[in-house]
Every structure is written in C-alpha cells, then in structure tokens.
Chains A and B, each alone.
Chain A
Amino acid sequence: MFLRILGKSILKRKSRIAIAVISVIIGSAIATALLSVSLDVSEKVGIEFRKYGANLMVVPKSDTIQVGFPGVEFGSVTEQRYINESDLWKIKTIYWRNNVLGFAPFLYQVVNVGEGAERQNVVLAGTYFDKNVVVLQPYSPHDNPMFITGIQKISPWWSVNGFWITDQNDTTNSMIGIKVAETLHLRIGDSYTIHYDEYVGDAINETSHNLTVIGIIETDGYEDNQIFVNLQVAQELTHRPGKIHTIQVSALCNACPVEAFVEEIQANIPYVEARTVKQLASAEMNILGKIENMMFLITIVGLIASALGVMTTMVTSVIERQKEIGLMKSVGAENKKIISLFLSEATIIGIIGGILGYLIGILLAQFIGFSVFSMSITPRFEVIPISIGLSVGVALLASILPVRRAVSIEPAIVLRGE
C-alpha cells in the first residue's frame, strides 16, 4: 500500500517531480563531470604539463677543483666537465624509474655555418631522438632492459615542419630551429656544412660536416636558434666521444616527491648534480591545485542549486498536499509514516537524478576535456556510487525543511470545511 501511495502520488505529479529530478541532475551532472575530469586530468595532466619541458636537469657537479697540495693553493680552475654517455641508463634504475617518462642527453658546441663572410655562429646540439638505451642493471628483474627515449619523449609538443630524425645512426640529417632557417635561408631538403674550429695552441684545426635539413623546429624558446643532430655527430665533430654536457629528464610526479628523483639520480651517478626546474614544477602544482579547487567550488555551488531546486519543489508539494497529509493523519498515519513517504520520494528523486546526472555528467566531462584540456576523459564507474550518493544526500537534505512542514500540519486546520 505504501508503494501504491508513493508510486501513484509520484505519477500524479510527474511534472513537479520532473523539476526536482532536473535540479538533481544539474548538480550530479556537474559533480560527475568535474570529478571525472579531475580524476582523469590529474593523471593525464601530469603528462600534459610535461609537454612544456623536462622538469629535471642533470649537470656535472660544478664544484671547483682544488689544484695543488693541501695548504698550498695555486688557485682554482673551473674545468669544463662532462657526463659520460655510458652512465645514462642509470637514470632508469632509480626507485621511481617508472615515473621517468624519458630523458635526453645534450652536447653543445658553437659551430660556423656558411662560407667566407657569410659565416654565422650557431649552437649545435647533439642529442637522442629515438634511441634504444640498454639498462645494464635493471632495478628489478621485471623491468624492461630496453628503454626508448630521446628528445621526442621529453618535448613531444615541439612543432615540427618536416620530419623528426628517427634513425639513431643517422649522421647526415639535422633538425634546425626556425630562426636558424631564417638567417641561413635554409629550407627542408637543403644541404649545408658546419665547421668546428679547434684551437691547438695558435693553430686552428678545423673539422667540417655536411648536413641536410629534414625538419624545422619552432618552440619560441632557445631551441629556435639551434641545430639538432644525433649525439654521435656532435661528439665526433668536436672530438669528445662518449661525452655529454647535460641530461634533461622528464619525470611524471604527482604522488612522488621530485626531491626523491634528485637524490637517487645523484646517488646512482655520483659526479652529477640534478636540479629540479623549480618554477615549472611549482607552477604545475599550483595550476593543478587551483583547477581542483575551482572544480570543487563549482560542484558545491551546483549541489546547492540542486538542493534549492528540490527544496522548492518539495515545499510546494507539501503545501499542495496539505489536505492529503491532514487526511492521512486523521485516518491514523503517525508522523514517521508521513516522514518516510516524503523521504522515499526524495530518495527516488535522488536516485533517478543521480543516474541521469551521471550519464549527462560523462558527456559534460568529454566536453570539458576536449574544450579545456584537449583530451578525452575516460568514464569512471567508481563515480557512479558517488554521484548517486551525493544526489540522494542532497535530495534528503533538501527535504528536511519540507518534511518538518509536513509533520507540523494540523489535520484539524487543513480539513476544516469551507
């Protein structure tokens, strides 16, 4: 009988119930959307933000070398120091190795391009593009001993005209920054020669190398002024086999502390110093935090709007039904029966609103994902109970006042004739 009363009373007031359901849908759709987005994004945004560059820079320890005997100082010299290419794999053997998305070594040298008076100084950067690095002593036997990495891994956001260098043994192709292309009037497919002048005493020992432009890079950063080649090209040209200047590491780190990366890398390669790219890291966290706060606030506002919608509907419904409620009381309904009737109605409104809100919220999440983060949001089923729970909670909470009103109805007054 309870179900009949509940069912029929809901069916009779379809449009009013629909308004309440719609208000719940709004709240739960917003909650679902923002929750899905924030769950998904905090995972994916980690990767997304890495697009804006490596977040760890590994350099040789730059402490000054003491020259001379203890106590007798001849002065100090800051020697040009290098990292050994053969130590690179060790970066992949730290505890947080799976969070190391990629790294790329760099060996820099200022070279000359062009002939005669046209000669220009350009920075040549030798690096990895798509390199197979063998992890000689994996951290765990389950680790993949082969790690493919390079500049494409840590800077996938570079806008490239033409092609990336894909062959790790390619010694003839180069990628050049857009400003280099402009000043040297180079286009894709053009060939040019780089010259490296090494001063041996007073004599100049010049080595040259022919390169072809395969891709033109535009980053709006210093890369626009550089020429990129495979590492061994730069090493051979400058007679520094197996040497690199810096390593840029891209670490995905939402849960793990960046400091842990730094310490472990320094422990694995004792002669280097790892630095976090601080501003970037904290800006990243800031933005993530702010986005999450904003989503949280919007969700709260959405839920309050839902609650107000449900409350208005319920209050109106109680006023409209006061004779009916008075009558129920007059034929013997105790307050708890009246309360359970309204709370059941609220629960039904909450459940329907929660389910529909979840579905709409998933769509909304896709929309937000594409328009704000340019990525798709994976629907998450763990959000369903949260969405329904929130909706039912909001509907019940919003019913407190109307239900109190229903309980306070005095049959003697509402059933009076006239």
Chain B
Amino acid sequence: MNEEIIRLQAIKKYYDESTHVLENLNLIIHKGAWTSIIGPSGSGKTTLLNIIGCLDSATAGSVFINDTEITKLNQTQLTRFRRENIGLIFQQYHLVPYLTALENVMMAQYYHSVIDEEKATETLKKVGLGHRLDHVPSHLSGGEQQRVCIARALINEPKILLADEPTGNLDQKNGEIVLNLIRQLHTEGHTIILVTHNPDIAKLGQRIITVIDGKICSDSTCSSEINEK
C-alpha cells in the first residue's frame, strides 16, 4: 500500500496573471488509496483533478504518474496516456445522447483500441445495469446514467479512477448506490481520487485533503477552518 502512484511537484495553475487557481501544490498519492479532496466551491478542486487526469496542463511544476512525467507529454501523448491509465467519472455523466448505454461504454473501447461487446455488457451488469443495455441516456435515471459513466470509466481497466462530485446531481438513495460501487472498486484495488464538498462523503476515503484557494492544508488543520466558514 505504500507504493507511490501519483506525485505532484510545485504545481501552479494560472489562467491569467490575476487568477492563480493553484499555488505551489505538492502531493503524493499511493497506489490503491482512496483520497478525498474537499474544499469550498471555486477553490481549485476540479482544476487539480483535471491536471491529474491529463485533461488540463499545469502552468508550472511536474506531475508524475507511474513514473511518467506527464507534464512533459504533448497533446496526443497525453490522450494516449489518459486512456490507458485513467478512468473519469463526471458530475454531469457526459453520456453521448444518441448512443445506448452499451454503445456509450463501447465507444470508450473503440477510442481505446477495439470494441468487445461482451466485455461492455459484463461491465454494465457489474454496475447493475444489465437490464438497461439498449436504453439511451434520456431514458435512464440520473443514478443509472452515473453508473453508465462509471462502467465507461472502468471498461479499459485503468488503475486510477478520478471522480469529480459523482453524487452531486443525485438524490441520497442513488448517491449511496454510486458510492457503494466506488467503495467496491476501491476494494478491488483501484486508486481513487474523489472530489466532493460534502464532508460526510469525504470521510469515506482513507485520506482527506482539503483545498482552499488553491493550497493544500492537511486534513486535521483545515477541517476546522471549513467548519468556521
């Protein structure tokens, strides 16, 4: 459990001179860990996650994932690296509206390598959607859509799962289904980083990192600050 999988060194992210989103951020994440990132809205959580997820690039600093310095990769290399190593779970699910649940999952296979309908079906069954394969997103509930999104994130067997407020748009019941699923994936060995602004959900992780104004405060020192606000 002590093997390091992600290392962020002196990460800075500026959109322009006046908006410093991330300030000199250092972070090491261990393989198989469940890390929760918590913080108020606009503090830079999504930006941080996007940088780890190779969706966004840092203005300065280095990011290492599995000993690859991704901050040195070009756009195409980043895309390839991402599809091999990272599964993304979005708050808005971002399913393709005209494709069925099965096809949405298969699309990720297609852009990764080759499609395998059986495996895609298998994965959807795993998230409890075996009976919803041919439904388009508009015929699925929010919880079901999020589970399709999770199946899609899992389909290419990435080691790292990044979830940005995965339950943000869900009611309590569906939120729990999704969180249970994530918990199961964690026990199966995935490294999980989950962004949330809900402290109760953050507590599901082994480690809670609080981000405020683009800076990390260790969980113990900062949780009290949040409560004060």
Residues of chain A at the chain B interface (Cβ within 8 Å): 1-2, 4-5, 8-9, 11-12, 323-324, 326-335, 337, 410-412, 415-417
Q: A323-B94, A417-B165 are in contact. Are A334 and B79 (CB under 8 A)?
A: yes
Distance to closest chain B CB from A249 (angstroms)? 69
Q: Are B76 and A1 in contact (CB under 8 A)?
A: no
Distance to closest chain B CB from A348 (angstroms)? 16
Out of A335, A410, A417, name the residue touching B91 (CB < 8 Å).
Answer: A417
Q: A8-B98, A324-B96, A337-B111 are in contact. Are A415 and B79 (CB under 8 A)?
A: no
Q: Are A328 and B111 in contact (CB under 8 A)?
A: yes
Which residues in A have their C-beta under 8 angstroms from that of B97? 12, 324
Interface residue tally on B, bucketed by range: 35 or more
Q: Are B88 and A330 in contact (CB under 8 A)?
A: yes
Q: Are B111 and A331 in contact (CB under 8 A)?
A: yes
Besides A324-B96, A332-B82, 16 more A-B contacts (Cβ < 8 Å) are A1-B115, A4-B99, A5-B96, A324-B97, A327-B94, A327-B95, A331-B108, A331-B112, A332-B83, A332-B112, A335-B75, A412-B55, A415-B90, A415-B92, A417-B46, A417-B168
Complex CA gap A412/B162 in Å reads 13
B50 interface hit (Cβ, 8 Å): yes
Distance to closest chain A CB from B63 (angstroms)? 14
Q: Are B56 and A412 in contact (CB under 8 A)?
A: yes
B144 interface hit (Cβ, 8 Å): no
Least CB separation from B153: chain A residue? A331
Which residues in A have their C-beta under 8 angstroms from that of B94? 323, 326-327, 330, 415
Distance to closest chain A CB from B102 (angstroms)? 10
Q: Residue-by-residue, is B69-101 near A (CB-CB < 8 Å gives 1, otherwise 0)? A: 000000110011011000010111011111100
Which residues in B have their C-beta under 8 angstroms from that of A411? 55
Where chain A touches its partner, the secondary structure class is helix
Which residues in A have their C-beta under 8 angstroms from that of B14? none
Least CB separation from A411: chain B residue? B55
Complex CA gap A11/B98 in Å reads 9
Out of B56, B98, B164, name the residue touching A12 (CB < 8 Å).
Answer: B98
Distance to closest chain A CB from B53 (angstroms)? 8
Complex CA gap A331/B113 in Å reads 11
Out of A2, A8, A332, name the residue touching B79 (CB < 8 Å).
Answer: A332
B222 interface hit (Cβ, 8 Å): no
A-B contact pairs, 10 of them (CB 8 A): A1-B109, A2-B110, A8-B103, A324-B96, A326-B94, A327-B96, A332-B156, A334-B76, A334-B111, A335-B75
Which residues in A have their C-beta under 8 angstroms from that of B115? 1
Complex CA gap A11/B94 in Å reads 20
Complex CA gap A417/B94 in Å reads 10
B7 interface hit (Cβ, 8 Å): no
Distance to closest chain A CB from B77 (angstroms)? 10
Least CB separation from B110: chain A residue? A1
Q: Are B107 and A328 in contact (CB under 8 A)?
A: yes
Out of A9, A333, A410, A416, name the residue touching B111 (CB < 8 Å).
Answer: A333
Out of A323, A328, A412, name the residue touching B50 (CB < 8 Å).
Answer: A412
Least CB separation from A416: chain B residue? B46
Distance to closest chain A CB from B108 (angstroms)? 4
Least CB separation from A335: chain B residue? B76
Which residues in A have their C-beta under 8 angstroms from that of B108? 331-332
Q: Are A417 and B99 in contact (CB under 8 A)?
A: no
Which residues in A have their C-beta under 8 angstroms from that of B96? 5, 324, 327-328
Out of B88, B92, B112, name the residue touching A417 (CB < 8 Å).
Answer: B92
Distance to closest chain B CB from A99 (angstroms)? 61
Q: Are A415 and B112 in contact (CB under 8 A)?
A: no
Complex CA gap A30/B75 in Å reads 43
Out of A9, A323, A332, A416, name the residue touching B80 (CB < 8 Å).
Answer: A332
Q: Are B107 and A1 in contact (CB under 8 A)?
A: yes
Scan residues 31-64 of chain B and give those whose CB is less than 8 A from a CB of chain A.
46, 50, 53, 55-56
Least CB separation from A333: chain B residue? B111
Which residues in A have their C-beta under 8 angstroms from that of B106? 1
Complex CA gap A5/B104 in Å reads 10
Distance to closest chain A CB from B57 (angstroms)? 9
Distance to closest chain A CB from B84 (angstroms)? 8
Complex CA gap A333/B156 in Å reads 13
B152 interface hit (Cβ, 8 Å): yes
Complex CA gap A329/B112 in Å reads 10
Complex CA gap A335/B96 in Å reads 18
Least CB separation from B90: chain A residue? A415
Which residues in A have their C-beta under 8 angstroms from that of B53? 330
Which residues in A have their C-beta under 8 angstroms from that of B76? 334-335
Complex CA gap A18/B91 in Å reads 34
Distance to closest chain B CB from A53 (angstroms)? 66
Out of A324, A334, A415, A417, name the residue touching B55 (CB < 8 Å).
Answer: A415
Which residues in A have their C-beta under 8 angstroms from that of B79? 329, 332-334
Complex CA gap A2/B97 in Å reads 16
Complex CA gap A11/B136 in Å reads 14
Complex CA gap A138/B210 in Å reads 105
Least CB separation from B50: chain A residue? A412
Q: Are A334 and B99 in contact (CB under 8 A)?
A: no
Least CB separation from A336: chain B residue? B76
Which residues in A have their C-beta under 8 angstroms from that of B156? 332
Q: Are A9 and B83 in contact (CB under 8 A)?
A: no
Out of B80, B164, B165, name the residue touching A334 (CB < 8 Å).
Answer: B80
Which residues in B have their C-beta under 8 angstroms from that of A323? 94
Distance to closest chain A CB from B81 (angstroms)? 10
Q: Are B107 and A5 in contact (CB under 8 A)?
A: yes
Complex CA gap A328/B103 in Å reads 13
Complex CA gap A412/B50 in Å reads 6
Q: Residue-by-residue, is B182-225 near A (CB-CB < 8 Å gives 1, otherwise 0)? A: 00000000000000000000000000000000000000000000
